[in-house]
Amino acid sequence: MRANESGRSVTSRVLSILEAFETHGPSLSLSQLAELTGLPVSTAHRLLGELHAWGALARDDQGRYHVGLRLWELSQSAGRRLRDTARPYLQDLFSLTQETSHIAIREGNEALYVDRVYSSKRVPRASRIGGRLPLHATAVGKVLLAYEEPWFREAYLHGDLEARTVRTHVDPAGLADELAQIAEQGYAITLEEARAGACSIAVPVAGRSDQVEASVGLVLLSTQGKTLTRHLSVLRGVASRIEAAIARYPSGYPRQRG
């Protein structure tokens, strides 16, 4: 191995290629990938060839690379149980309210959207399946934060609180009070904090150990910001159904370590 990034494993190089699609995807050229990964072009070319042959990546007519469907298929098993459990109820929630419904879990400092039900009618595009948004800027995220352990919440509030819109709450003391209120009242509301024009209401979904494992919410146009709580009972009803289904998970399914 030459001095160029000596000590770097092949696995780490391959994963750095995949990482480049996270940060700069969805379509990247060979040269871009070499630059983003710090690999010489010939090395990148060789590793990309193997990933492409297997189907982890695809290549278009212009020679640009994308994530391949095989990786999509393979990874459907991740989070599938929660998604499959929640989906019918998100669908019911959508049918009852005709508003975009979604469910998120906490991943690090962000809300990760594991599913979402919406239609061609007005869709304030605040979330996307597989997408992430900062906890403090979303209703589902505020719920997840409100029910987290105090040390985590305090560490989060001491971190860098990004203002996603001009309406995002970023004052730590103000957010702490808000989260305490959310824990008391059992729901969170955001008004154009994640995205201009969109407001949201969310409630917690408890897991098997009675800890809050996810949060389910609705997204509406900001014109309906004053009447969000009218959806509370149906949201809570749906959350209860999801919790009951989670409680019915087969025994012995362990919590993830990683």
What residue ranges bind DNA (CB under 7 A)? Answer: 1-2, 4-11, 13, 29-31, 34, 39-43, 45-47, 63
Nearer to DNA, 50 or 162 (CB): 50
Check residue 255 and report its DSSP letter: P
Check binding of 88 to its own copies (CB under 8 A): yes
CB of 51 to DNA, least distance (A): 12
| Residue 8 binding partner per list DNA, its own copies, none, with a CB distance cut-off of 5 to 8 Å that depends on partner kind | DNA
β-pairing, 198-206 vs 65-67, is unpaired
Q: What is the number of other CB atoms lying within 10 angstroms of the CB of residue 160?
A: 7
Tokens 């309210």, located at residue: 97
The only residue of 36, 43, 64, 240 in contact with its own copies, by rule CB under 8 A: 64
Check binding of 180 to its own copies (CB under 8 A): no
Q: How far apart are the first and last CA of the chain?
A: 31
* Amino acid found at 173: A
Residue 42 token pair: 């010939």
Tokens 């370590």, located at residue: 257
- The interface region with its own copies, picked from 83-91, 149-157, 162-170, 198-206 by CB under 8 A, is 83-91
Check binding of 69 to its own copies (CB under 8 A): yes
| Residue 167 binding partner per list DNA, its own copies, none, with a CB distance cut-off of 5 to 8 Å that depends on partner kind | none
Check residue 28 and report its DSSP letter: B
Compute and round to an integer the Cα radius of gyration of the chain. 21
Check binding of 254 to its own copies (CB under 8 A): yes
